[in-house]
Amino acid sequence: MPRTARKKSEYGYYHLITRGNGSQILFADRSDRIKYLNLIKENSREFLIQINAFCLMDNHVHLLVHDENGNISAFMKKTNGRYAAYFNKKYVQNGHLFQDRYKSEPIETAAYLMTVLRYILNNPRKAGISTAEKYEWSSYNRYGKEGSFVNTDVFRDLIGNYDEYAAFIAAPNSDECMEYNNSAKDDEWALNIIRENLKIPGGTMLRTWPEAKRNEALRLLKKKGLTIRQIERVTGINRGIIQKA
> pLDDT tens digit string along 142-167?
999 988 899 999 999 999 999 999 99
Q: Which fold has domain 13-170?
A: Alpha-Beta Plaits (3.30.70)
Q: Tell me the per-residue pLDDT of 8-29, one tens digit each, with 9 for 90 and over.
A: 777 899 999 999 887 678 998 8
Q: What is the pLDDT of residue 169?
A: 96
* pLDDT exceeds 50 at position 96: yes
Distance CA(110)–CA(121), nearest Å, equals 17
For the chain, the first-to-last Cα distance in angstroms comes to 42
* pLDDT exceeds 50 at position 2: no
Q: What is the pLDDT of residue 99?
A: 81
| Domain definitions of the chain by residue range | 13-170, 183-244
Rg of the chain in Å (alpha carbons): 20
Mean of the pLDDT values across residues 60-68? 96
The structure's pTM equals 0.71
